[in-house]
Structure 1
Amino acid sequence: MPPFVMLYGRRCRTSVCWGEIGHKEIESLEVVQETSLRFDHIKARMKVAQDHQKSNANKRQRPIQFNVGEVTYKLDLPDELEGIYSTFHVSHLRKCLADEMSHVLLIDIEVDEQLNYIEEPADIVGRNEKQLRRTVMPLV
């Protein structure tokens, strides 16, 4: 599928066919042949550019392996979290400055097969009221 069709959902109307849409007769066969030759030349150049970009991308993609202890940490996770990969690179870890009393027990969190969970609010912290012309609207 051509890129123009993918982007806009219709065929590209080139300068050869910028007139009304519908059945047309082309006056000279040379114009069609010249246009098709130009399209073939453009397609060939695009193919060369895509191959060049693909070869550059493939050169840079290589598997990176780290030994545990150098720049990675391996976590001992409970059996409920066996679907989570337990080895982390140092750059993915952040310093935690949370209160020690504000931790959440693993039993309270329901995790599905894709390791997603739904956050539910515990309580309403603040309330405001918005004054309209004749009414007062409570904001939570």
Structure 2
Amino acid sequence: MAPYEALYGRKCRSPIGWFEVGKTALFGPYLVLQAMEKVKVIQQRLATAQSRYKSYADELSAVHPVFHVLMLRKCVGDLSYIIPIEDVQVTGGLTYEEVTIAILDRQVKRLRNKEMNSVKVLWRNQQVEKVTWEAEEAMKSKYPYLFEPKGEVQGAERGH
């Protein structure tokens, strides 16, 4: 399949076939004149598109991709975001451990033929806290201490 046919879904017609069906039997100077007029229209449209893109490029020519060092300003950041190097505990593989703080919520997701229990876990890494939903079974096997009852008060809060 030709690229034109793949793009437009029909075969490319030559200048002879540009005209209406039934008028293709015309020969002579009239046929050449019509073909030349169509070529001029195409050339005009290409020139218009080219000038449009040139004007876009001329607007962007004033933007220079390099800046001078004197344009830099001193950054005054929030000191609460700075973590002392001594507090950051990185392993040999350049990773750090996130500590589980608590389980905040539970939910059951119903799939087509099974149910999946999830827990909402509060994590802390260094000085940042975040919350994610995790599979309950994986969390029970990895962090069993989060699922141990903490006394009668916790059971009463859950309605047991």
TM range (shorter): 0.3 to 0.5
Which has a greater percent of strand?
A: 2
Higher relative contact order (CA 8 A, sep 6+): 2
Which has a greater percent of helix?
A: 2
TM-score by length of 1: 0.40
Asked which structure has the greater CA Rg, the reply is 2
